[in-house]
Structure 1
Amino acid sequence: MASELNGGGEHRTPEGRRGRGGRASRRAARQGGGTASLAQLPWGQPHLPFPPMTLLSEDQIEAIHAASLQVLEEIGVDFLLPEARTVLKEAGADVDPGSERVRFDRALVEEKIATAPERFTIHARNPERNLEMGGNRIAFSAIASPPNASDMDRGRRVGNTEDFRNLLRLAQYFNVIHMTGGYPVEPVDRHPSIRHLECLRDVVTLTDKVGHAYSLGSERIRDGMEIYRIARGVSPERFAMEPSMVSIINSSSPLRLDAPMLGGIMEMSARGQPVCLTPFTLAGAMAPVTLSGAVVEQNAEALAGLVFTQAVNPGAPFIYGAFTSNVDMKSGAPAFGTPEYMKTAIIGGQMARRYKVPYRTSNTNAANTVDAQAAYESVFSLWGAVMGGGNFVKHAAGWLEGGLVASFEKFILDVDLLQMVCEFLKPVEVDPDSLALDAMREVGPGGHFFGAMHTQERYRTAFYAPLVSDWRNHQAWEEAGSPRAWQKANAVFKQALAEYEPPPLDPAIKDELDAFVARRIEEGGAPTDF
């Protein structure tokens, strides 16, 4: 994966503010690489170099599409916000008088699908961190929204500001994490009415990557958009023309969208910001027990959200989200990283490509600690997500305990996995130098290549250098104290935090940001009851 860093010196925004550039910008963009001691890949957005996997035939995909349209036309979806129902009625949907139920004519659905963009750029406050969303591009985001954090030193604990900030620092430090996908842990020591203000200020000061804001009512998402606009140093008009953040909308499966989320969609889509509609459909619980039935429900809910975004603002950026897995039918607990999850991740990608919109999926597991289960379930999840054509892989680093815990050691384990995925996606070079005929002539039969000039010129960068994997022989490993993977990951996350440097932020932007947050806190923030 080649670095996509841009050179250049100081630049100015259209509003005349001095922006970041030159050596400071390049140092921030390669954080953790170059002079830092932890080996990691250079910053760059990976892409899938070959066609994504498919599990279903075109006829089967069309059968799911037709069944989804039938659900929307006959059963409908509950929209719990009156203003949303008004918008949909004006767009031509069938809204039951005195009811929350909305039904969609299939012609209306097809019309709105056609206006959603196939790909778009999301602009970070550091332009070198901009992301392409759609096509064959991939963006990995950190863990988001767990109520608890953990590490092997202090154990499991309720989410707090210290852990929140440290996880943001890790997300900034590691180049393979391309964006923050939400609060990496919920800091419950901050009051809910102002939590979004304090947290998003941390996000845009501790990181310079693409970020996220929660659509928990109109006030919070409006505040979030203003924070990201200020952080980028752009005018409201330019912000509305350039996607600059993401918001995840989870439907309340089955077949329901709640009022706070709908308010968020209305605000985001009206200002041209990407909405990712992700049904949380667990087969056997909130969705049919059959995978095809669960995908039909997922698809119907995603299409209902797509139609709404386009009814608010034709051409508004939309991301098709899939989060269909199964439950443990013995206990009812969600299961992740399962064969069923892999299948639905791949099918979800087929559906998104059917509608020509970007696709969001996730890296998940149900393990309770950083062990073999955590690793192999994440590998399975990532395989389904990446090979299924995922553009936005959420929860890519740190997810543990079915999403209830943000684990510092799991974050590092996942970074190692993500880097290995990126290395796997790199094309294999086949040219005169890589074919190595001169090296084979030099060594000849029965020799070895350690001392060959061809090897000496390439050995430092020839192979992926892992963060966690231990390749020493047994004797050397024992002499080093027989370290386990979690112990090495524990040391790596501490080293990364020690080496972290905050990305540059224009003082004028910081002052404006602080003034906005202070004013909104003084005004009371956002309501806590909906």
Structure 2
Amino acid sequence: MSAIDSPATRRRGGRTSLMAARGAEKTPRLSTINYAIKPVEAVSADQLERIHLASLAILREIGIDFRDETALRQWREVGADVRGERVHLEPDMIMGLISKAPRSFELRSRDPDQRVTISQETLTFGTMQGAPNVRDVNGVRRSSTMEDLRDVNRLTQMLPGFHVAGGFTCEPTDIAVPWRHLHINRSSLVETNLPYFGLTTGQQRAEDSIAMARIAYGEEFMKSNAVIIGQISGNSPLVWDATMLEGLRVYAEANQVVLLSPFVLGAANTPADVAATAAQLNAEALAGLAYTQLAVPGTKMIYGQYSVSVSMRSGAPMSGMPEVSLLNVLVGQLARRYGIPWRTTASQSSAKTFDPQSGYESAIAYMSGATAKSNLFLHAGGWDEAGLVCCLAKFVADAEQNLLIAKYAQGVSFDHFDDALEAIRRIGPGGHYLGDAFTLKRFKEAFISPELLDYLSYEQWKAKGSKDMAQRCREKAKATLESYEPPQIDVAVREELDAFVAKRQNEISPSLA
């Protein structure tokens, strides 16, 4: 053995060599993540079938309200039992309609090299949605503005842990409500080049969202490619309303993606029982999924759900609870039974600051979603205060957590197993691996190294300013925004988007100008 290969030399120079090998290269954006882990199951096959049959019984015997004349007419035309707004659905009709849905589909971005597959074997990350407030880069909580939304989209574009932009991640409260959806869509299309969530609250807002996507992507391209997702929220218990169903049809008819999400507040709008809550949630989802295929057969769709339990002390939603984790697992089992990709809420927290509660609750939500093999992690960036706040410090922390969860989901690789065993033979008893050729070649991919989580000694941490996690993340958010590089967009396309916004504002409500 030469001196350079001796264990003693490796002990002295290993750490130095390893640190020298660390590059400052930019982490590439996550591509499609293929699961290699097996999902956790909370109930047996017999128990799952019991929940499934209970859901079908709810829809047949109790029925579900479709508060929309078009939907009621369509249900009548296929022979459903419609009594006023209440629709009673037979199991064969439900399952026959759901069988028309594609089991996988692709989301495209304006970057031809960046595309993501949504299926039961893949994992995708999207940001939070719907916050009326932000906790900004200085840690100040306030009403969110258009500039805040633009900053969130800029962070989404720059951080590699997101596949899908959130669209209405935080509400631009300084924009008049009738015009707000126009500016939200414009920011998604200009500040990012990712697939994104459009607006679905009513036919006109949905049509404007699709029209703006067509300006950016081209009408012909969108006839055969999905670039935008419409989230359709249920009104539990057992209601789908006209506002959401109008938006659903617009997205489905435009060959875009529809995400159907019952809204569960356990013990408030569902029974105080996990299994029965799953049965009701599933009934609502099945009815929405079936209707989507009735409206436009073959629509790309995702089984969604938002689930929290409710505090019996305050009535407030509680994130990170074991019951919510169990619901995640149950929904995963049900969605796999139906062959439909499904979503969960990844990083939800009820914390009022970016503090240990925020971290604990979000970590539980992340891991329960991953072990349940969720296919779309929605709200995987910034969610605090039960969704009332988008925290920019947490946003960048979650983006890093997405990278960690992606690594976990891909499981244990045996691609380099034999070479690693050779390293064991080389090093032998009493040596170390830090300077070994295999370690230097493989360490970046073998073991992920987070930037925002702190692994310094106490003395090193103190010398660097004694910064806590929130401060480090605020600094990261500021630095990322300062380094923002806008995606390429044709000048003519941008001008057409601006002209569309101005035209629609004048048509919707010229008095607001």
Question: What does 1:47-446 correspond to in 2, within 5 Å?
Answer: 47-96=34-83, 99-151=84-136, 153-235=138-220, 238-363=221-346, 364-426=348-410, 427-431=412-416, 434-438=419-423, 440-441=425-426, 443-446=427-430
Q: TM-score, normalised by structure 2?
A: 0.90
Q: AA paired with 2:169?
A: P
Deviation string 1:331-376 (CA, Å, 9 cap, x unpaired) is 1111111111111111111111111111011111211111111112
2:482 aligned with 1:498, yes or no? yes
Percent identical:
34
Deviation string 1:212-251 (CA, Å, 9 cap, x unpaired) is 112111000011011112211242xx42332221111111
Whether the 8 Å CA contact 1:229–1:244 is kept in 2: the answer is no
Find the aligned partners of 2:445 and 2:49 in 1 and give their Cα distance: 46
- Name the structure 1 match of 2:467: 483
Whether the 8 Å CA contact 1:439–1:452 is kept in 2: the answer is no
Instruction: Report the count of equivalent residues.
Output: 489
Whether the 8 Å CA contact 2:159–2:396 is kept in 1: the answer is no
The alignment partner of 2:390 has SS state of strand
Whose helix fraction is larger, Structure 1's or Structure 2's? 2
Find the aligned partners of 2:490 and 2:322 in 1 and give their Cα distance: 48
Structure 1 residues 38, 453: CA separation in 2 closer, same or farther (over 3 Å shift)?
closer
Q: CA deviation at 1:460?
A: 5.4
Structure 1 residues 227, 74: CA separation in 2 closer, same or farther (over 3 Å shift)?
same
Whether the 8 Å CA contact 1:131–1:210 is kept in 2: the answer is no
Find the aligned partners of 2:511 and 2:192 in 1 and give their Cα distance: 27
Find the aligned partners of 1:119 and 1:461 in 2 and give their Cα distance: 28
The alignment partner of 2:134 has SS state of strand
Structure 1 residues 137, 461: CA separation in 2 closer, same or farther (over 3 Å shift)?
closer
Q: AA paired with 2:67?
A: L
Find the aligned partners of 1:378 and 1:67 in 2 and give their Cα distance: 31
- Name the structure 1 match of 2:16: none
Structure 1 residues 462, 265: CA separation in 2 closer, same or farther (over 3 Å shift)?
closer
Whether the 8 Å CA contact 2:167–2:184 is kept in 1: the answer is no
Q: Which runs of 5+ in 2 are unaligned?
A: 1-22
The alignment partner of 1:523 has SS state of helix
- Name the structure 1 match of 2:13: none
Find the aligned partners of 2:216 and 2:358 in 1 and give their Cα distance: 36
Find the aligned partners of 2:267 and 2:511 in 1 and give their Cα distance: 35
Structure 1 residues 85, 149: CA separation in 2 closer, same or farther (over 3 Å shift)?
same
Structure 1 residues 137, 462: CA separation in 2 closer, same or farther (over 3 Å shift)?
closer
Q: TM-score, normalised by structure 1?
A: 0.88
Q: AA paired with 2:75?
A: L
Deviation string 1:308-351 (CA, Å, 9 cap, x unpaired) is 11111111112101222211111111111111111111111111
Q: Which runs of 5+ in 1 are unaligned?
A: 1-35
Find the aligned partners of 1:353 and 1:415 in 2 and give their Cα distance: 27
Q: CA deviation at 1:38?
A: 8.1
Find the aligned partners of 1:102 and 1:460 in 2 and give their Cα distance: 56
